[in-house]
Structure 1
């Protein structure tokens, strides 16, 4: 359901830091309906600039959240990091169909692969369907970048850390895939960097997973 922002403004509740450059913005939901994997167009009042951010919160949460990586040349990511509670956001959407079929996948056949903040749509999915059988591979630099780790069941998640030894696997997420090829009957969803996605698709194809069973969302 789309909400008329003129009659139901989206108001900032809080900004929650996760690392020095990654944070979560929580704001009013206004009864907006969405499915996990969709994104919102976010802007500041009076500015024509809008940016796409995947919804981070679950469908049962009474608020909306987005996960943001502050970047050096990102005016929006810098502005939202400093925004104060009570301020208004321009919000349009939701849009997208990235995970629209994921809830229909047979138990044990769901494979999520993310790098960095590309975990956002999967966080939304797991919060929305906490009993779903899934396997989540998250590629990060250090364990400190394992955002909201308590959301996920430990037995369903593999942290792949490329710059420290504190993950479940030391190396890139694609290194883990190459060393532990998935079964060919998996339905794979990939979100994150374009390089990770390209490399992962090659490994998944070599493992017998056809392109029609691979869905991607490129973040950067």
Structure 2
């Protein structure tokens, strides 16, 4: 599994950057909070990716090019690329990202990366997507793609954040649950479970506590009305490395194993930090 860098790495803008990447244009910026933003870019000619993958992108500063990995939140069929990120105070990449506006240039590598994709599962009825913070990004892409809706009977997205205003994409997720993409007659059922760790829940639909706590005390399964089982559940984890590690341990205790090359399993993970 890939482990995203904290806030970028540096390399010279040329010639390596121009060999591996293509210059694109920022087309829109949406601010969810002062630290969270969604931005879209033009899409490189011939660019193809699988929902759940990520791109490496570059922004120039005074000493070269700063690179950072971001999951696409757009569907593979979309005409533009969309990304969701957080501004890290003093971060190499996000200091530059914080100032972007439509019309600005941005470099995107021609090759997408990552293996946290639904097609890694060979069976299962229920897909659980467990995310913290901006780790929800790849799951937005997955849920915008009709493929997953015909692949599983039940889709459960869990989004855990510190503060309620960090629960991004709420309206779209509500709309997707009511009207899945692709007009499928056999579309799976989506449930979105939200949790906050530092605020009091604003309503009875929002849980309080970390994913690992909610997994241990049974609240996740109770809220979803579905058991987590070796036979039926397939699980994707994306977010804080500590959450990933502890959840892996809890899943191992339930007899679940990670998907390996040519070896079926019950879960896949990606650190997003």
TM-score by length of 2: 0.72
Q: Which residue of 2 aligns with 1:184?
A: 230
Where do 1:121-200 residues align within 5 Å? 121-129=138-146, 131-132=149-150, 133-152=154-173, 153=177, 156-163=191-198, 164-166=200-202, 168-180=206-218, 182-185=228-231, 186-200=233-247
CA distance in 2, matches of 1:120, 1:7: 22
Give yes or no for contact 1:126–1:151 (8 Å, CA) kept in 2: no
Paired residues for 1:60-99 under 5 Å: 60-92=77-109, 93-99=111-117
Structure 1: gaps of 5 or more residues:
none
* Equivalent residue number for residue 49 of structure 2: 34
Any conservation in 2 of the 1:190–1:217 contact (CA below 8 Å)? yes
Q: Alpha-carbon deviations, 1:155-211, whole Å to 9, x = none? A: 511101112212521111111111225222311110001100111112222233233
What is the distance in 1 between the residues matched to 2:89 and 2:252? Answer: 35
Gaps of 5+ in 2: 1-17, 179-189, 222-227, 259-264
The aligned length equals: 216
Q: Please say if residues 13 and 85 of structure 1, whose CA atoms lie closer than 8 Å, have aligned partners that are also in contact.
A: yes
Alignment CA distance shift 1:16-1:104 (3 Å): farther
The Cα RMSD (Å) is 2.4
Q: Report 1 or 2 for greater relative contact order, CA contacts < 8 Å, sequence distance ≥ 6.
A: 2
**The structure with more radius of gyration:** 2
What's the offset of the Cα at 1:219? 1.3
1:137-159 CA distance string (max 9 Å, x none): 11111221111112322851110
